[in-house]
């Protein structure tokens, strides 16, 4: 992260924009670390007993507080209890946390607050040594529990968060479900946090309530004081602290422009994506969490084009049960306003984290025991998921999608297992949907080359360009040093896309695309020219892509494709397509230019 100052001495922090939009407002620093930790030595045994009693009392109080938060969550707000609360509850029962703290009181002769700090410091050291960045971040849960206990020990029991009266921007290290559930959301203008990524709870909440958020700012809680004025630019991931009038004015213009554009796009978002010459493209939403469905509907998705079920594993130590899977899938499949739902089976491994030890460390995980390969080894785990999907299919139109298929043997094996699970459910008289479709991700080059044979095995293809580009161009999709080579319009990629669509068409099956490429408005005509039947993308991208499709013709798209596919370099194609799109859709072009200008000035 860079902290830099503009000419006017505005402090600008760069993080990850996880929920688009721009907002200016007063900062409310949610700082749990503001608890002053007293430190004193105990002189007598009775003092030690008194400290032990205080500690146990703080544990009880903390548990009761979490229980009432959970109650509020389930009863008042009608939401399922969030398992992170359960994890915090479990930590409060953790024997080593309790035992070590009591031991510190007795043996080191220190007060309860200090004894707890000593215990958590040891945890901090241990977590620091963990290489897996996801697991390493879990120290934030331990710290959350520590801060709650400290507040109860020093008598600051009131949650400041629920006292917020004015409209504010929340500045925090991170936000847990226990925090957000207490916030009066209508008073929250935006979030800016030290830690987190696209999948952190803060990001999900921000996206689902539609407020701008920037995470991963590393030190925002150190830079901002209560009542400072801050600008949160969730589009480009910037936070500006105490901006001068000139910057304020610039961002106010940017905000107004963003808002107007969003409003006008949203007004048309639910119109179908039909070209001027009458060709319809189905539009799906890519979701990672069921909470994103309302936003997908609002942004005009026809259905769920990709539900990345591996996210069910987030924050978990244990594998989810069939019932947990089932409840998730039902919520997706019966999502009102969605015509169909595509549930992709686990794509674990590679860059997808999992806390369960079943996944061994691999030298080259992206090419290792990942996705379907993992499921075909852990068949019992796979069956649990398949049972849950089939049971949920009774609640609405379901498509099951299998990731990383590289040849026909794999899909045949998968279908055999699916058949066994179906039979089991039929024998148990469990209802399942009658029109379930089976599809595969086309994201491995070998699958492209044998697409004809694969197409005869399934009802649809979904092209995963994120991985297909990675494997075709040999570019690690998360390695920044080779990211300049990650080119969706590379002629090799375009030729592959054409092969996939052609094979799909000959076999009479639908071809969808759910990689990031599908959500890039500048590529929409190319994809239209390829005659891809369905594009699935992040909900926020839908209105922009739909708008391009509605303003174009199939004939025009085809001639653009024919023109560029003859070009020999990716840069040439990209340049041609961007210029073409900027002149054809000047509104989109202007928006992009404006972003570039602001980023350059910084
Ligand atoms: C892809 O590879 O394009 C895709 C959609 O899957 P993921 O990004 O989850 O690997
Ligand atoms: Mg993929």
Domains of the chain, by residue range, sit at 3-31+159-263, 45-154, 269-601
CB of 515 within 6 A of ligand 1: the answer is: yes
**Per-residue model confidence (pLDDT) at position 181:** 66
Query: Edge-to-edge, what's the strand order for the sheet holding 168-172?
Result: 3-5, 11-14, 238-241, 229-233, 22-30, 168-172, 188-193, 213-215, 16-19
CB of 464 within 6 A of ligand 1: the answer is: yes
**Per-residue model confidence (pLDDT) at position 406:** 98
Distance 22 CA to ligand 2 centre (A): 31
Q: Cβ–Cβ contacts within 10 Å for residue 569, how many? A: 12
- List the one residue out of 478, 479, 584, 472 whose CA is nearest residue 528: 584
Which residues in the chain come in under a pLDDT of 50?
1-7, 157-159, 353, 355-357, 596-602
Pocket test residue of 285, 353, 467 for ligand 1, highest count of atoms within 8 A of CB: 467
Query: Among all ligands shown, which has an atom nearest to the Cα of 469?
Result: 1
Q: Which of 88, 201, 490, 538 is catalytic?
A: 201
Angle, helix 245-268 to helix 542-550, in steps of 10 degrees: 60
**Per-residue model confidence (pLDDT) at position 138:** 77
Instruction: List, in sequence order, every beta strand (DSSP E) within 11-164.
Output: 11-14, 16-19, 22-30
Give first-to-last CA distance, the chain, whole Å: 14
Q: Please, are residues 65 and 145 in contact by the beta-carbon 8 Å criterion?
A: no
Distance 403 CA to ligand 2 centre (A): 7
Pocket test residue of 289, 406, 466 for ligand 1, highest count of atoms within 8 A of CB: 466
Give me the CATH topology for the region 269-601.
TIM Barrel (3.20.20)
Q: Which residues contact 56 (CB under 8 A, 6 or more apart)?
A: none
CATH code: domain 3-31+159-263 is: 3.50.30.10
Distance 73 CA to ligand 1 centre (A): 32
CB of 292 within 6 A of ligand 1: the answer is: no
Tokens 């509020």 locate to 72
Distance 513 CA to ligand 1 centre (A): 10
Q: Which of 88, 235, 325, 514 is catalytic?
A: 514
Distance 348 CA to ligand 2 centre (A): 10
Report whether CATH 1.10.274.10 matches the domain 45-154: yes
- Closest atom of ligand 1 to 470 CA is 2
Tell me how far apart the alpha carbons of residues 40 and 414 are, in angstroms, rounded to a whole number: 63
Distance 472 CA to ligand 1 centre (A): 14
Query: Among all ligands shown, which has an atom nearest to the Cα of 464?
Result: 1
**Per-residue model confidence (pLDDT) at position 599:** 46
- Closest atom of ligand 1 to 467 CA is 2
CB of 308 within 6 A of ligand 1: the answer is: yes
pTM of the model: 0.71
Query: What is the percent of the chain with per-residue pLDDT over 70, rounded to a whole number?
Result: 87
| Nearest residue (CA) to ligand 1, atom 7 | 466
**Per-residue model confidence (pLDDT) at position 189:** 95
| Nearest residue (CA) to ligand 1, atom 4 | 464
Q: Please, are residues 229 and 25 in contact by the beta-carbon 8 Å criterion?
A: yes
**Per-residue model confidence (pLDDT) at position 295:** 86
CA distances from 127 to 86, 120, 133 (A): 20, 10, 10
Query: Among all ligands shown, which has an atom nearest to the Cα of 351?
Result: 1
Reply yes or no on whether 99 is catalytic: no
Q: Please, are residues 296 and 269 in contact by the beta-carbon 8 Å criterion?
A: no
**Per-residue model confidence (pLDDT) at position 388:** 98
Residue 22, strand partner residues: 233
CB of 514 within 6 A of ligand 1: the answer is: yes
CB of 111 within 6 A of ligand 1: the answer is: no
Reply yes or no on whether 514 is catalytic: yes
Distance 329 CA to ligand 1 centre (A): 19
- List the one residue out of 449, 493, 453, 444 whose CA is nearest residue 471: 444
| Nearest residue (CA) to ligand 1, atom 6 | 464
| Nearest residue (CA) to ligand 1, atom 8 | 466
**Structure tokens belonging to residue 526:** 């190319």
């Amino acid at each position: 992260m860079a902290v830099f100052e503009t000419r006017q001495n505005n402090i600008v922090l760069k993080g990850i924009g996880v929920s688009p939009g721009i907002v200016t407002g007063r900062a409310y620093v949610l700082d749990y670390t503001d608890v002053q930790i007293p430190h004193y030595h105990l002189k007598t045994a009775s003092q030690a007993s008194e400290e032990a009693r205080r500690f146990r009392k703080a544990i009880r109080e903390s548990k009761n507080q979490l229980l009432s938060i959970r109650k509020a969550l389930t009863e008042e707000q009608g939401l399922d209890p969030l398992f992170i609360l359960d994890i915090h509850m479990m930590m409060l029962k953790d024997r080593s946390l309790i035992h070590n703290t009591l031991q510190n009181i007795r043996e080191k002769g220190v007060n309860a607050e200090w004894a707890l700090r000593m215990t958590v410091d040891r945890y901090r050291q241990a977590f620091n040594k963990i290489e897996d960045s996801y697991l390493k971040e879990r120290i934030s849960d331990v710290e959350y529990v520590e801060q709650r206990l400290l507040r109860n020990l020093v008598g600051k029991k009131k949650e400041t968060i629920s006292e917020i009266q004015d409209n504010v921007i929340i500045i925090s290290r991170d936000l847990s479900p226990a925090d957000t559930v207490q916030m009066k959301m209508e008073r929250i203008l935006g979030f800016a946090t030290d830690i987190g990524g696209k999948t952190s709870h803060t990001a999900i909440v921000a996206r689902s309530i539609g407020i701008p958020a920037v995470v991963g700012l590393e030190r925002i809680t150190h830079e901002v004081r209560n009542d400072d004025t801050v600008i949160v630019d969730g589009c480009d991931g910037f936070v500006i602290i105490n901006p001068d009038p000139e910057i304020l004015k610039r961002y106010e213009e940017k905000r107004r422009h963003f808002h107007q554009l969003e409003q006008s796009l949203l007004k048309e978002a639910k119109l179908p994506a039909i070209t001027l010459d009458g060709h319809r493209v189905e539009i799906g939403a890519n979701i990672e969490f069921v909470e994103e469905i309302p936003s997908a509907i609002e942004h005009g998705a026809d259905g769920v084009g990709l539900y990345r079920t591996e996210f069910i594993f987030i924050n978990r130590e244990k594998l989810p049960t069939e019932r947990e899977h089932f409840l998730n899938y039902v919520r997706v499949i019966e999502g009102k306003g969605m015509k169909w739902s595509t549930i992709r089976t686990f794509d674990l491994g590679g860059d997808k984290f999992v806390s369960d030890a079943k996944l061994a460390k691999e030298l080259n995980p992206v090419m290792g025991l990942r996705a379907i390969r993992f499921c075909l080894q852990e068949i019992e785990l796979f069956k649990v998921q398949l049972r849950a999907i089939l049971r949920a299919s009774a609640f609405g139109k379901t498509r099951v999608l299998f990731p990383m298929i590289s040849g026909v043997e794999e899909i045949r094996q998968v279908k055999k297992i699916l058949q066994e699970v179906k039979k089991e459910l039929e024998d148990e008289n469990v209802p399942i949907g009658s029109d379930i479709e089976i599809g595969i991700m086309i994201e491995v080059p070998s699958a492209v080359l044998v697409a004809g044979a694969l197409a005869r095995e399934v009802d649809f293809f979904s092209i995963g360009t994120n991985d297909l580009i990675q494997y075709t161009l040999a570019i690690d999709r998360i390695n920044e040093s080779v990211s300049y080579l990650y080119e969706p319009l590379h002629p090799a990629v375009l030729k592959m896309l054409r092969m996939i669509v052609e094979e799909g068409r000959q076999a009479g099956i639908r071809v969808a695309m759910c990689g990031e490429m599908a959500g890039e408005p500048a590529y929409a005509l190319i994809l239209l020219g390829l005659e891809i039947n369905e594009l699935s993308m992040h909900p926020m991208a839908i209105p922009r892509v739909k708008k391009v499709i509605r303003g174009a013709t199939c004939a025009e798209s085809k001639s653009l494709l024919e023109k560029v596919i003859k070009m020999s370099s990716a840069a040439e194609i990209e340049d041609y397509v961007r210029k073409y799109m900027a002149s054809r859709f000047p509104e989109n072009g202007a928006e992009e230019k404006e972003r570039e200008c602001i980023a350059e000035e910084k």
